[in-house]
Structure 1
Amino acid sequence: MSDVSIKAGRTAPPEAGAPPQGGLSSTLILALGTFAVGTDAFVVAGFLPSMAEDLHVSAATAGQSVTVFAASYALLSPVLATVLARLPRRSLLVGALFVLGLANLLSALAPTMAVLIVSRVLAAAGAAAYTPNAGAVSASLVRPELRARALAVVIGGLTVATALGVPLGSAASHWLGWRAALGTVAGLCLLVAVVLRLVMPQLPGNVRVPLRTRLAVLRRPAVLAVLPLTILGMGASYTAYAYSVPALEAVAIPEKAVLWMLFLYGLGAVVGNLGAGYGTDRWGSARVLTAGYLAMVLSLGVLAWLAWTETSAQPLVGLLVLLWGASSWCQTPPQQHRLIAVAPQEAPLVVSLNSSSIYLGIGLGTVIGGATLGAGAAAVYGLGAAIAAVALLFLLLTQRTAAPAHQG
């Protein structure tokens, strides 16, 4: 049965199973939406110092806006997926982007830290409603042989935002101020919402799956052996990354060069993500993750040593930041691969839970980094390296439990 609503005066509906018209153009707009969502999630870390100064709070306190967004996204994602299941997809996606845009506008105008926190919770709700559904909708809008490419395009928007969010935030804060930077994100969200409303065909909602059913998969030992690793790995990275501007200045990177270091992190994130996908197919998830956590321990550990000894070595720092970015974002492809292998019948659900775990890890890392920031950047980097070592140990101890049943 066609997903397209037929109105009087239009041509006959497409054949059964055929995708709606305009699928490719809608997919590109959906990708722009995931870019806006991802930028909103990661941009704040790029201007924490100026935000903290403007709101008369410490950098650690301002960093809790990242924690609140991440934790709210993680908790709201399964709830909103249940509550909004029956809503038509176009209405859901457009509404989510409007909520995100208005929330960013409120963030840009926030006079106090309390108002900023409320606006970040609202932004997380919009992001949690948009991102999981954008990928699913993109696959339904194109022919079967184009679905993988459609998914890659939509998720590509998020990957680019992951790579560029913090450096864009730092640059926008330097040139425009942090309030104008968030206002720009708000404008992008609202613009994409309008365009999506104009070009995307109408699609029906889904069958509502009770929240208890969605979370039942968490009772499986194999799933529980995989998901905590995502939290640990992202927590290790974000212990320092959420405070990357002051942390980089502590390893003798001048303010004018911080932006370029953040771009190196973003480049590493893209290379790490793409390389991990290839490496997982060729060598397996466990080997890719092991290499990633070893690289994270090495990069953060050496950065901790440089900060502690107050050594100036900018080329080395650039290489370490590149490695740090690659090790941080090489986790997602192998982790998703592992989850799908242990729960193939619930693949969309466990991938969604992995996304929630990513944001829980970001929130955890931001809290730990904020609590440690007063002790100096060496402590922040060192704690990140220690958590990465714990992640590696957890991986080694749970490999047998996380193996697919057919592997014994």
Structure 2
Amino acid sequence: MADTPRLLIPTLSAVNFIVGMGAFLTVGLIEPIADDFAVTDAQSGALLTTYAILYAVLSPLLVSLTGRIGRRRVLAAGLAILGLAALISALAPTLLTLHISRGLAAMGAGVITPVTAAVAAQLTAPERRARTLAAVFAGLTIAQAIGIPIGGWVAYTFGWRYAFAIVALLSIPALIVLWRIVPAGLSFAPVSLRDLGHTLRDGPLMAAVLFTATFLCAIFVLYTYFAPLLAADMGFARDGITLAFFVFGLGAIVGNYIGGWISDRIGASRTLLILTLLQIAVLPLYSYLPLPNTILMLYTFVWSLIGWSFGAAQQVRLVALDPARAPVLLSLNAACIYIGAAAGSAIGGAVIERASVSSLGLAATLVMLAALAHLLASNRATSRRKRA
């Protein structure tokens, strides 16, 4: 196993910061965008659905089609596309243009996230793999803690277009650092559309991959409309919403590392089961707001910590199931993140329109119960697959 080049993991993490901010920035911009284009919060929230669906479709295809290209070139191209998309978003004259630019952003991010994961997994010893993946994805969690709250504050203060402009500007130095640090010609066993097809036809493997979608679907039922919920039930404005997203981001950073640490000790499957049960216990409270501000912030920290402990454990589980197909599995896993986000945001929007924003916590709990059933069935299927 090759030694990991110095500064490679921090560089991949920094790139994922741009991806994380570019992907989920719209969560903090729902109300400013809705006000600017004179649409409902649900219609504004559909921007995340557009991004998520196109990411889910494009990511596995692009990873397979670029399997023979050096990893540095693939990552650089993805980051350049993501930065261009952010610039178009900042200048978008209509909501339709904004939807199109979010699709372009999904194309760029769709190769970055799974490729960074595959590079880190292949260059790391199995006993340290969860912690290394957690380090690579620390950029995504730091984006939750810093990037998205700052973007939301900028949007409420100066306008949502400036928030997208920040992403476009950050992509320039990130691209330069990426090109200098990632070695030229870095590549692994190439994957192809045939590999993708074989994986898609493997029932137990796909059941394991799709758990990512069901778990995160439950999270995004609530998270997509977290800002409108806080505004309606807690009376929060710009500063309160920004603080809540900052606290959520701090929980994401801690959870990312705790998830990797626990997985290396008790195993990925046990970790995932514990996290799912904890989510079922936590989510209902958000249907019973208002709460004292301090209690709400502590609760939000815990909710985020539990949710963001998920990523490293699930990726380690998938790599262990079939190491030879790790790049394809990780690209499908990344796609399922956004399938879950798309489904969750759609369910959340329907709940708001047919019931109320206050019902989101209970709705998310019901989806998480379905995720628990999915996990148990998936574990049984993969156990039978190993025995066979």
TM-score, length-normalised on structure 1?
A: 0.85
CA drift of 1:45 comes to: 0.4
Post-superposition offset of 1:18: 7.5
Measured in 1, the distance between the counterparts of 2:160 and 2:370 equals 35
Corresponding residue of 1:244: 226
Residue of structure 1 aligned with 2:336, choices 343, 354, 357: 357
Q: 1:184 to 1:18 in 2, by over 3 A?
A: same
CA deviation vs aligned residue, 1:104-139 (integer Å, no higher than 9, x gap)? 000011111100011011111111122223344567
Q: Identify the structure with bigger relative contact order (alpha carbons < 8 Å, sequence gap 6+).
A: 2
Mean Cα displacement is larger for which, 234-243 or 279-288?
279-288
The residue number in structure 2 matching 1:341 is: 320
Cross-structure match for 1:8: none
Where does 1:224-373 land on structure 2 (aligned, <5 Å)? 224-255=206-237, 256-306=239-289, 311-373=290-352
Partners of 1:71 and 1:359 within 8 A in 2: yes
- Number of aligned positions between the proteins: 386
The residue type equivalent to 2:361 in the other structure is Y
Most deviating of 236-245 and 153-162: 153-162
Residue pairs, 1:55-74, within 5 angstroms:
55-74=37-56
Q: Distance in 2 between matches of 1:330 and 1:143?
A: 21
Evaluate the alpha carbon distance shift between residue 336 and residue 52 of structure 1 in structure 2; reply closer, same or farther with a 3 A threshold.
same
Partner of 2:381: 401
Matches within 5 A, 1:4-403: 23-25=5-7, 27-137=9-119, 153-198=135-180, 200-203=182-185, 208-255=190-237, 256-306=239-289, 311-374=290-353, 375-403=355-383
The structure-2 alpha-carbon separation of the partners of 1:135 and 1:296, relative to structure 1 and needing over 3 Å to count, comes to: closer
Task: Report the residue type matching 1:62 in the other structure.
Answer: S
Could you say which structure has the higher helix fraction?
A: 2
**What is the root-mean-square deviation of aligned Cα atoms in Å?**
2.9
SS, match of residue 24 in structure 1: coil
Residue pair 2:280, 2:368 contacting (<8 A) in 1 also: yes
**Structure 2 gap ranges (5+):** none
Residue identity in the other structure for 1:234: L
Listed as ranges, the gaps of 5+ residues in structure 1 are 1-16
Between the aligned partners of 1:19 and 1:297, the Cα distance in structure 2 is: 41
Query: Equivalents in 2 of 1:399, 1:379: separation in Å?
Result: 31
The sequence identity of aligned pairs, in percent, is: 35
Question: Contact 2:255 / 2:304 at 8 angstroms: preserved in 1?
Answer: yes
Tell me if the contact between 2:133 and 2:260 (Cα under 8 Å) persists in the aligned partners: no
CA offset at residue 231 of structure 1? 0.7
Gap change, CA 1:223 and 1:91, over 3 Å in 2:
closer
Larger deviation: 398-407 or 235-244?
A: 398-407
CA distance in 1 between partners of 2:204 and 2:310 (Å):
18
> Does structure 2 conserve the Cα–Cα contact (< 8 Å) formed by 1:342 and 1:403?
no
Would the aligned equivalents of 1:87 and 1:206 in 2 still touch at CA under 8 Å?
Answer: no
Distance in 1, Cα, partners of 2:379 & 2:206: 11
CA deviation map 1:266-312 (0-9, x unaligned): 22222222222222233333432233223222222111123xxxx44
